Structure 1
Amino acid sequence: MARNSFARAAAAEQGGNLEQARALYLESLDAEPRNPKALHRLGVVESRLGRPREAVALFQQSLAIARDLDVYLDFGNALSAISRWDAAATVYGAALRVAPDSVDAHYGLALSLHRQARPQEAEPHYRKVLATHSHLGEVHNNLGVALQDLGRLAEAAAAHREAVRLDPADAGAWSRLGVALHGLGQGGEAEAAFRKAVGFAPRDAESWHNLACLLEANGRMEAAIAAGRLAVALDPASARNWLALGNAAHAAERREEARRAAAVAVRLNPSDPTARNNLANALRALGRLRDAVAEYRAALDLQPDFPVAEVNLALALSILRDPDGALAVLRRLIARQPENGDAWRRMGGVLAEAVRPDLAVAALRNAVAVLPGDPDSHADLAMAASICGWSGLSADACRHVLRLAPDHAAALGQLVHEKRLLCDWRELDGLETRLLRRVRDGAEGVPPFDVLSCASTLADQRSAAARWAAAKARGVTPVVRPPASSSPSCADGRLRIGYLSSDFREHAMGHLMVDALETHDRSRFAVTAYSAGIDDGSALRRRFERSMERFVDLRRQTDADAARAIAADGIDILVDLTGFTTFSRTSILAARPAPVQVNWLGYPGTLGAAFVDYIVADPVVIAPGEEAFFAERVVRLPDCYQPNDRHRAIADATPSRAECGLPEDGFVFCCFNSSHKLTPALFDGWARILTAVPGSVLWLYAGTPEVAANLLREGEARGIAPGRLVFAKPLPHAEHLARHRLADLFLDTLPYNAHTTGSDALWAGLPVLTRRGTTFAGRVAASLLLAAGLPELITDGEEEYEAAAVALARSPGRLRVLRERLARNRTACPLFDTPRFTRHLEAAYLAMWDIHRAGDAPRSIAIDAGDAGGSASAAQEGKETT
């Protein structure tokens, strides 16, 4: 009867009547409980009925009675069905002891080991199967996955290629081939493989996910976003699909879409630290820095050892102007991972922003030691060294960058600038030519200030500035300003003027502007100074703080918070005094905190920005007809765009010539301009001047021994004896002005003139000889001289300049007349008449505001010389289309 029940059970099983088969197998076992075949087949039926645990128990009973290969194989399958991979591997191993050549046992063991993250042990079993069954594409695929897990990508790709050869319509095989090729850096072939996969299985979300990741890695962001959107549409419950979409949107600067995608990923998998980090990145890009910090901290709560999130958290804290918090995070990370180059680099950035460039250099030296092939680390080191004044180190770091990334425009510009500062003119012509070619080719990242000292045109300068400004404005959200009104927003009817600067301190710009800001008519103008720079504790800083109606320190505020603060103050006209110089905060302007925004004084050129309305100039520095080269509308003051401080102290005591290293007799030419303004061609001319004036010397400012050594070498190459070049050491400002009395004539530079140094010389009573250039930076000294009443000291060519210098040196009487005129004019000439200057500036502000109040677009303005009374009736030039 038992035999009859077993036969009927087997027939029912074969016919698919599983419940009937189960009952008959049980009937058979009632009659013969230790029948291994009945136990085996009942186990198979239980598996097919979805009861693998019951099946496992039956297979164990069967094997306890008799060792049978088929039972082992079915036992292994049942264990695999409940993800008992360790037990399944044990069973398949036992099967191989029964039948060492069993293909099924080798394959089952391979899969079980692979599922336990033991690909190295799985590999030989996959290969054993393929030795006799090479036609099985699925096995080639699984072998490929194991090889990829082992990092053997080329072998993995070969295995997947064989799989798709065997079954060209296998979408999964094409997708896995794409993954291997992507890992090998073969982007084009990888994309083709993924395209095959989605062609054969257009609803396979995995393949669309893989394609999105590849396209994002290859910089094809729009295509990556499209693929990512398909992946999430097909499988919206997959957090990794949302992460892929978010990564692509973040890279494409689609910030809100990136945030939404990352937020969904976090909702689907709230315990995934990577999703939290990605959401934080998206929030940071949106300017929601405090929310980003919370998400970074949540990621680190889930995974405390998460260096990427730690570095990102430090970056967010740094942007929030919390350097102490950022440094605390980084120090903890570096204590754990002293070889983490990203952490050292971020620490260098935080320290540089905190104006600790010496410590920043130390940190960045560690970064480049750990990451010698990372151009950005070398670029950061170059910048920190430059802030320290270590031009040699900065130049070396720039060279490293350019070896690693030959098209790195910022490093090229900085290298040119550092070589100029060092007066190391070797190879300079070629570097400048290369830099200007990059500007004219439309390269991004060329620092505009570095272009000013080159033989650049106004068009070059606008081109570089426009791209720089656009980069600074990227991602900036405009602030909400108080409701516009037809009259000044100040409750007492005064126009609110805000001055934004990093230089309210002992700085050239500070000395120039302090008197003009102090002399504003407070009955008509409410003046606020917004300081974005350091408090250096100087007397000049204290003077700014005392004399301004309001002095607001923004240094610890983010750009966004600073812009909101300015907007909340109801500023009508915001004047940027820093431009593209060190520690500028251009992103504040990009947020448009004021309805009228002005570029003045700090930067001798256009900012190239749509968010700046006007540039304050004069008819000399921006000649009529040059408006097209300026993104701003040009406001021309009648005398000189540059203010001066009537209270600049000049020390009473004059040092002796001997104390300054000068000869007792002989003509003293001098130039106290920054060394970056000196050029080989200029030095050629100075050598000719010295040769033509026997016994004369050239007195220069050299900030470092390296600069002096380079200039002595260049002088010797031009036949100048070393004793004819004398170098001035740094002195306090009043003493520096006093030593001007020892010189006879100040020789100006080109293409970048004396600016503050020129007005310093004239204030100290020293005539300045200049050449008029072709750009703003090269015409400032001409403007100063016209306003000082010394137009005959302006020349228009190299020969005229050299001839004038020699003639003046040979004509002491004529030079004395010039000195006497300068002395007489000092208290009366427009250059040093600060109240007159400020009335003209105020007239310009009123004209700007009248245009804005009328609802008109900004247009050029010319202030009449007779408008020193400060009326708002300044002449306004015709509207422009450029």
Structure 2
Amino acid sequence: MTSFTRAVAAENSGNLEEARARYLEVLQAEPQNPRALHRLGMVELRLGRPREAVILFQKSLSIAKDLEVYLDFGAAMAAMARWDATAAVYAAALRVAPASVDAHYGLALALHRQGRPQDAEPHYRQVLATHSHLGEVHNNLGVALQDLGRFAEAAAAHREAARLDPADAAAWSKLGVVLHRMGQGVEAEAALRKAVGFAPQDADNWHNLTGLLDAAGRSAEAFAAGRLAVALDPASARNWLALGNAARAGERREEAWRAASAAVRLEPSDPAARNNLANALRDLGRLRDAVAHYRAALDLQPDFPVAEINLALLLSSLRDADGALAVLMALLARQPDNGEAWRRLGGVLAEAVRPDAAVAVLRKAVALGPGEPDVHADLAMAAAMAGWSSVSVDACRRVLRLVPDHAAALGQLVHQQRLVCYWRDLDRLEEALLRRVRAGAEGVSPFDVLSCASTLADQQSAAARWAAAKARGAVPVARPAAVVRDGRLRIGYLSADFREHAMGHLMVDALETHDRSHFAITAYSTGIDDGSALRRRFERGIERFVELRRHTDADAAQAITADGIDILVDLTGFTTFSRTSILAARPAPVQVNWLGYPGTLGAEYVDYIVADPTVIAPGEERNFTERVVRLPDCYQPNDRRRSIAEATPTRADCGLPADGFVFCCFNSAYKLTPALFDGWARILAAVPGSVLWLYAGNPQVIANLRREGEARGLESNRLVFAKPLPHAEHLARHRLADLFLDTLPYNAHTTASDALWAGLPVLTRRGTTFAGRVAASLLRAAGLPDLIVDDQEAYETAAVDLARSPDRLRDLRQRLARNRPDCPLFDTPRFTRHLEAAYRAMWDIRQGGGAPRPITIAAGDTGGPKSAIQGEGEAR
């Protein structure tokens, strides 16, 4: 037996040190023996000395180009994950033996591992040309094809592997993955179910199934599969990530956070894990911790658009618009064609109340993604904020072409068409909207429903879904265990409208008139400071004025709770700039809906709605999620200090004819309807020489209403349009009108109060909802109930009769003038005492341990001084 033979025997028996010594003996005698160099290289490799093995392989090949040496050398490089060197060795092997199946396969694997699937593909196919029975090669070819985006071919390759070995779990798993990417969810799930059936202990199979189920919206099943993947391989960060995604989709916030935290512990340098942890923290309301982890993800991977967009959106929600804009602008500097970044930039600008800039940005996003309905929807919203109704209408229509059942876009389309009095197809659109509301559609703004011919049940249905959406992610705040008190009931008023605004004019006097000996009043402002005299009056006239505009919803709720507010009154409802999510965090033990929104908020976290017997009739309580509190006169307050300019403009100044009866309606254009306009046309036709004076701040409204008037046989001079004026001057021009004609289904509210305060009688038709009965409530409180009618025929008859009866109209004006100083509508102290009695009743129920229940305040009931509160921490 030769030394070489003995060395081979020792190697084969596993006696590696002896084999090494024997091969060295051979090489001492024959330094250029290629076979000994080759075998010694293999021994060194098995002894864990790869560097020495490489040198020996290279020496052997320098002497003789042997295929076997190349193959072993390539395998050694592959074992060390030296894929570039591996590819070079196998390529050299193919120059020696072009038909070598092993060399082709080795080169294919090496190229694939280098991220070169297009170069690997021909080598996989070369192997299969002569060895088509190798399922593993079919699987690897399938993965390469999948990497190249050739999913149908990839699926065919995996199907062939599964055909060759029906129990090949890897083939079924890979087939399931590629079918999922092809959108063939049912077939993908069937394949993955086979994979887990054949290999139930393989965590990868459960991981893939988790992802599929999560994408299908089956979060509970995905969560169960993810838990199995984690149980089988708890050291895999990607399994924890998949579990966290499933948990988050199922709103299992704590589980999502724990899973993402585990992924970060296992892979602290994985930016995706950091991003997911930030998402979970955001869902838990830990917003600043989330910001830190988004930034950590970006430190690890600066070019990470998903994390950048997530960070920008979170900064925007934290009221850091400048920070959000900086993040998105940096992203767009690198990726100017990133449509999602443009879209989010538009959203941040809109949130920062820069709607014109938002529209410009969102137009860019639309150009990049014309088939994306969400982009058009965002453009529609920004354009509406900017007052560009025609742009908003066009964007809504594009959304509906892409997604015909998009209920939110339909609601906005209806409202925007109303805003400019574009009534073509309006009846059909409103009917479609109400059908969707009744079918349970999500995303319809309740305010859009108020102006339609909706029922109280429709309004409650839309509001309940909207309120539930606003509550998602809201974390209840804990009330302080002890609050230093002074014995007064603490009332907080939450509003975006402490400014030159209709609601501002209504409520300022009532808030100033509160009895400070028994009530501690705080105004929480979430709206802009417009610098107006009315804003300054709010700041001076209310005991505490707190600016919350730049607070997050969570921080605002915390601030209100920290102040120990007993009753929080929302004055904005679902109108512009509402912050309903603050209420969802329950910052006060009693929460009230009043004044700003004429309907139910549909929110379980709002206890009461302030109304009166007219706007919410007895028996209608079931359509209000809140408990109804009825004040004795009218739910609406008024400002006794509302000034009217002394100088009255001339008819010519206002574009009115020198003679003739002047009907007017200064309501917003969205309250006008085709049916209402039909009735107005009949009234004008019955009163020769009369005109209808309407408010129009938008040229489109004028053009559209003139066209509608012509279609009804009205000459263009029968319609006169009033331009915007300062409030005192606006009130003064009411003196030129003879009768205010109200609208339905949405009445005049502040505009009716303005008219009555200015001495102008208002004719209203009583509706069937809160929004349609407000003018009736005002007229009762003003002592003019005879101006309330119940049907359209009576409305038209009354309008014509009054126009033909100057004596009767003069009597109405005189009665209104006599009533104004002390009628309930304008007796703000009387109103405020009744409101305070309602607050006392709410609090007494709360202190007695009872659930909220309906409350009726009798005329003259002020509740007495029993409202003084005693409680833990009270200063005595």
Q: TM-score range by the shorter chain?
A: over 0.9
8 Å contact 1:840–1:870 — kept in the other structure? no
- Structure 2 match to 1:671: 665
| 1:820 aligns with one of 804, 814, 833 | 814
Partner of 1:583, secondary structure, is coil
The one-letter code of the counterpart of 1:580 is F
- The 5 A counterparts of 1:153-552 are 153-483=151-481, 491-552=485-546
Distance, in Å, in 2 between the alignment partners of 1:324 and 1:22 is 69
- The 5 A counterparts of 1:561-576 are 561-576=555-570
- The 5 A counterparts of 1:864-875 are 864-868=858-862
| CA root-mean-square deviation | 1.7
Which deviates further from its counterpart, 541-550 or 123-132? 123-132
Query: C-alpha displacement at 1:265, in angstroms?
Result: 1.5
Matched, 1:603 2:597: yes
Partner of 1:658, secondary structure, is coil
Query: C-alpha displacement at 1:160, in angstroms?
Result: 1.0
The one-letter code of the counterpart of 2:674 is P
Distance, in Å, in 1 between the alignment partners of 2:319 and 2:702 is 39
Query: C-alpha displacement at 1:614, in angstroms?
Result: 0.5
8 Å contact 2:518–2:865 — kept in the other structure? no
User: How many residues end up aligned between the 2 structures?
Assistant: 867
Deviation per residue, 1:701-737 (Å, 9 max, x gap): 1121111111111111111111101111111111111
- Structure 1 match to 2:794: 800
- Cα 1:215/1:643, change in 2 over 3 Å: same
- Cα 1:582/1:218, change in 2 over 3 Å: same
Deviation per residue, 1:720-775 (Å, 9 max, x gap): 11110111111111111111111111000000000000010000001000000000
Partner of 1:287, secondary structure, is coil
- Structure 2 match to 1:757: 751
Give the TM-score, by structure 2 length. Answer: 0.96
Deviation per residue, 1:104-134 (Å, 9 max, x gap): 1111111122122221111111111111111
- Structure 2 match to 1:696: 690
Distance, in Å, in 1 between the alignment partners of 2:737 and 2:393 is 33
Distance, in Å, in 1 between the alignment partners of 2:425 and 2:573 is 29
* Unmatched 5+ stretches in structure 1: 874-882
Give the TM-score, by structure 1 length. Answer: 0.96
Distance, in Å, in 2 between the alignment partners of 1:426 and 1:641 is 36
Distance, in Å, in 1 between the alignment partners of 2:124 and 2:412 is 57
8 Å contact 1:842–1:870 — kept in the other structure? no
- Structure 2 match to 1:770: 764
| 2:581 aligns with one of 577, 584, 587 | 587
The one-letter code of the counterpart of 1:642 is Q
The one-letter code of the counterpart of 2:434 is L
Partner of 2:452, secondary structure, is coil
Distance, in Å, in 2 between the alignment partners of 1:323 and 1:336 is 20
8 Å contact 2:493–2:524 — kept in the other structure? yes
8 Å contact 1:93–1:109 — kept in the other structure? yes
Which deviates further from its counterpart, 853-862 or 270-279? 270-279
| 1:708 aligns with one of 698, 702, 705 | 702
- The 5 A counterparts of 1:55-204 are 55-204=53-202
| 1:863 aligns with one of 821, 832, 857 | 857
Which deviates further from its counterpart, 429-438 or 371-380? 371-380
8 Å contact 1:472–1:587 — kept in the other structure? yes
- The 5 A counterparts of 1:1-80 are 4-11=2-9, 13=11, 21-48=19-46, 51-80=49-78
- Structure 1 match to 2:873: none
Which deviates further from its counterpart, 58-67 or 287-296? 58-67
Partner of 2:629, secondary structure, is strand
- Structure 1 match to 2:629: 635
8 Å contact 1:844–1:872 — kept in the other structure? no
Distance, in Å, in 2 between the alignment partners of 1:161 and 1:99 is 31
Distance, in Å, in 2 between the alignment partners of 1:165 and 1:263 is 41
- Structure 1 match to 2:644: 650
Distance, in Å, in 1 between the alignment partners of 2:704 and 2:865 is 53
Distance, in Å, in 1 between the alignment partners of 2:284 and 2:468 is 17
Query: C-alpha displacement at 1:52, in angstroms?
Result: 4.2
Distance, in Å, in 2 between the alignment partners of 1:527 and 1:200 is 69
Distance, in Å, in 2 between the alignment partners of 1:483 and 1:22 is 79
Query: C-alpha displacement at 1:63, in angstroms?
Result: 2.2
The one-letter code of the counterpart of 1:707 is V
Distance, in Å, in 2 between the alignment partners of 1:9 and 1:328 is 69
Query: C-alpha displacement at 1:24, in angstroms?
Result: 4.3
Which deviates further from its counterpart, 844-853 or 30-39? 30-39
Partner of 1:769, secondary structure, is strand
Distance, in Å, in 2 between the alignment partners of 1:37 and 1:346 is 66
Deviation per residue, 1:818-858 (Å, 9 max, x gap): 11100100111110111100011011111111111100001
Which deviates further from its counterpart, 826-835 or 246-255? 246-255
The one-letter code of the counterpart of 1:818 is L
* Unmatched 5+ stretches in structure 2: 868-876
The one-letter code of the counterpart of 1:193 is A
Partner of 2:255, secondary structure, is helix
8 Å contact 1:319–1:558 — kept in the other structure? yes
Partner of 2:405, secondary structure, is coil
The one-letter code of the counterpart of 2:214 is E
Partner of 2:251, secondary structure, is coil
Distance, in Å, in 1 between the alignment partners of 2:537 and 2:40 is 97
- Cα 1:870/1:751, change in 2 over 3 Å: farther
Distance, in Å, in 2 between the alignment partners of 1:116 and 1:300 is 25
8 Å contact 2:836–2:863 — kept in the other structure? no
Distance, in Å, in 1 between the alignment partners of 2:535 and 2:448 is 28
- Cα 1:699/1:175, change in 2 over 3 Å: same
8 Å contact 2:491–2:522 — kept in the other structure? yes
Identity %: 81
Query: C-alpha displacement at 1:268, in angstroms?
Result: 1.5
The one-letter code of the counterpart of 2:689 is G
- Cα 1:624/1:490, change in 2 over 3 Å: farther
Which deviates further from its counterpart, 164-173 or 45-54? 45-54
- Structure 1 match to 2:874: none
Distance, in Å, in 2 between the alignment partners of 1:607 and 1:778 is 17
Deviation per residue, 1:145-201 (Å, 9 max, x gap): 111122222111111111111111111111111221122121222222211111111
Which deviates further from its counterpart, 839-848 or 369-378? 369-378
Distance, in Å, in 2 between the alignment partners of 1:30 and 1:331 is 69
- The 5 A counterparts of 1:830-849 are 830-849=824-843
Distance, in Å, in 2 between the alignment partners of 1:221 and 1:869 is 53
- Structure 2 match to 1:789: 783
Which deviates further from its counterpart, 591-600 or 176-185? 176-185
